[in-house]
């Protein structure tokens, strides 16, 4: 890394969980951060905590569920400062059998977990291509590779994210852009407390957001001539 260029990362879903932990891990590594969340109230304390490490942190309020607006809003963030690393972390959990999943719920899960990521990438990619460099890290899930009952819509959205990552990697390699898909097992985050998730697991045996954040940082810090295509990280205690 040249002295004159300090890297900047854009992290979605940065107000809590993996996104928040990643923002702090990047900051400790000296990487400036652009933090995106639909809630500015939740994002502000994260921004302040990151700023204490000495890097520049900026908060951006974007509702990624409104997929038609996402590309334009991401382009605006890129105009505010070059994005070297894009971490697509925002997403939602959802549990129901397929027969009990209304079309509107299915669409909501696909929109937020998959289509919004596609639009985030489309917003940031042009500026990365112009500079001939960039790292895109998409947070998928073990459920993309292993089906679990009641997690159908979620699994499909996360499997789609792996296919998106693989296709993007092939298409953008010639432009100097690296793409990584990270597939964590169960992570102890607020996802388990949301209204759309009904599951009773032992959260003490899950991965912590900080462990996943270290994996994301590791992928981002690899020398430019190397890339982690896909990384599966599981809790060693045997949780899913």
Catalytic residue positions, numbered: 154
Structure tokens at 170: 């092939």
- Give the residue from 183, 162, 184, 191 showing the smallest Cα distance to 235: 184
Judged by DSSP in three states, 142 sits in helix
Question: How many residues in the chain?
Answer: 240
Distance linking the first and last C-alpha atoms of the chain = 37
DSSP strand pairing (57-61 vs 32-37) = parallel
- CA gyration radius, the chain: 17
Task: Identify the H or E element spanning 209.
Answer: helix 209-221
Tokens of 139: 């947070």
Angstrom distance (rounded) from CA 134 to CA 230: 17
Question: What is the distance between the alpha carbons of residues 27 and 53, in angstroms, rounded to a whole number?
Answer: 6
> Are 8 and 60 spatial neighbours (Cβ–Cβ below 8 Å)?
no
Q: Using CA atoms, how far apart are residues 212 and 140, in angstroms rounded to an integer?
A: 11
């Amino acid at each position: 890394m040249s002295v004159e260029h300090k890297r900047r990362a854009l992290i979605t879903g940065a107000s809590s969980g993996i996104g928040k932990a990643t923002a702090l891990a990047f900051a400790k590594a000296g990487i400036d951060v652009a933090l995106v969340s639909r809630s500015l109230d939740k994002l502000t304390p994260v921004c302040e905590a990151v700023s204490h490490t000495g890097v520049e942190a900026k908060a951006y309020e974007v509702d990624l569920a409104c997929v038609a607006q996402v590309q334009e809003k991401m382009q605006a963030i890129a105009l505010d400062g070059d994005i070297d690393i894009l971490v697509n972390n925002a997403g939602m959990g959802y549990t129901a059998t397929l027969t009990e999943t209304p079309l509107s719920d299915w669409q909501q899960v696909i929109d937020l977990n998959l289509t919004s990521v596609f639009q985030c990438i489309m917003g940031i990619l042009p500026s990365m291509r112009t500079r001939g460099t960039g790292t895109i890290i998409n947070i998928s899930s073990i459920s993309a590779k292993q089906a679990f009952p009641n997690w159908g819509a979620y699994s499909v959205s996360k499997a789609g994210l792996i296919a998106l990552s693989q296709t993007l990697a092939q298409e953008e390699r010639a432009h100097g852009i690296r793409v990584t898909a990270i597939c964590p097992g169960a992570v102890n985050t607020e996802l388990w407390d949301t209204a759309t998730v009904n599951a009773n697991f032992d959260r003490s045996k899950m991965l912590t957001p900080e462990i996943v954040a270290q994996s994301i940082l590791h992928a981002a810090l690899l020398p430019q001539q190397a890339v982690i295509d896909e990384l599966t990280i599981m809790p060693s205690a045997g949780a899913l």
